[in-house]
Amino acid sequence: MIVHSNPSPGWIELLITLKGSIAKRIAIRCLLITVLAALIVFIEGMYPGGFHRVSATPFTLLGLSLSIFMSFRNNACYARWWEGRKAWGRVVWEVRSFARESHVIADAQLRATLLQALCGYAHALNARLRNEDEFDAARTWLDAERTRYGHNVTDGILRDIGGRCSALASDEAISEWRYITLEQRLLGLSEAQASCERIQNTPLPFPYTLLLHRTTLIFCLLLPFVLAQPLGWLAPLFTTIVSYTFFGLDTIGDELENPFGYDDNDLPTDAIVRHIERDMLDSAGHVELPPAREPSDGVLT
């Protein structure tokens, strides 16, 4: 996630900054469209009148329709990004609540083990959403082998914590209603995991994305034919600006559709996991805590 050191950057900085911009990802496409526009203007200059009969009306209607369709898709992609952030906020809320309510556990060593397992859960969930090895990511915080947690390591950690809390209730080390309270925290974590998995495993319908990609490309390819005659050598400039806008919005939607990866504009899940580590270790009585993650070159991972 991009974090600006200056919350109100000047207009010059906004024009030249590349960090967090999608300009690098669409530069080649925009360059090709610009070259095409320059070629068409050159041909129009060699053979005047060749594009006089190309009407701008169909392109105006197509551009308007494309803009509306693109705004709907980008809103849907942003909603996925924001829902992912709310789900991770739910994870932070639930683990903090579990740590506070677990003070009822008299066995300090067992409580510390449970809090460390929650750190492992956060690491495992982060890895799961990136299609990485969950157990390897959480290994440092767990006290058992992979087989104990099953194929879904992230859920297996919650299952293991719930089993230990249930054993405490059976041994009457904690009351039944205390156990129910702790179990509600685990239920909230499970719901947050399911929300994240729903976002990751259910992309936007492919026909919508394919239609938008194709229409955007066709619109930008045909635009120089309309602008060549009335604008002359200004046509490549305006074609580049329009192409940058449409290709950029299209690419932003692709980037926000899955917010759990390593793109500059994805959610800073590594930083959130580190916050959870610090909170759990502090609650367990540790004095030396790992440092909070800071933005690197304006990017908070």
188 in any annotated domain: yes
251 in any annotated domain: no
44 in any annotated domain: no
3 in any annotated domain: no
Cβ neighbours of residue 215 closer than 8 Å, sequence gap 6 or more: 62, 66, 69
Per-residue pLDDT of the chain (301 residues; tens, 9 = 90+): 666 555 555 656 555 565 556 777 888 888 998 898 888 888 877 777 665 666 667 777 777 888 888 888 888 899 999 999 999 999 999 999 999 999 998 888 999 999 999 999 999 999 999 999 999 999 999 888 888 888 999 999 999 999 999 999 998 888 899 999 999 999 999 999 999 999 999 888 888 888 888 888 888 888 888 887 778 888 888 888 888 888 888 888 888 888 998 887 888 999 999 999 999 999 988 888 888 777 766 666 6
The total of structural domains in the chain comes to: 1
Each residue's pLDDT tens digit, 130-151: 999 999 999 999 888 888 888 9
97 in any annotated domain: yes
Task: Please compute Rg for the chain using Cα positions.
Answer: 26
**Domain span at residue 161?**
92-201+269-288
141 in any annotated domain: yes
195 in any annotated domain: yes
86 in any annotated domain: no
CB 87 within 8 A of CB 190: no
Cβ neighbours of residue 281 closer than 8 Å, sequence gap 6 or more: 115, 119, 289, 290
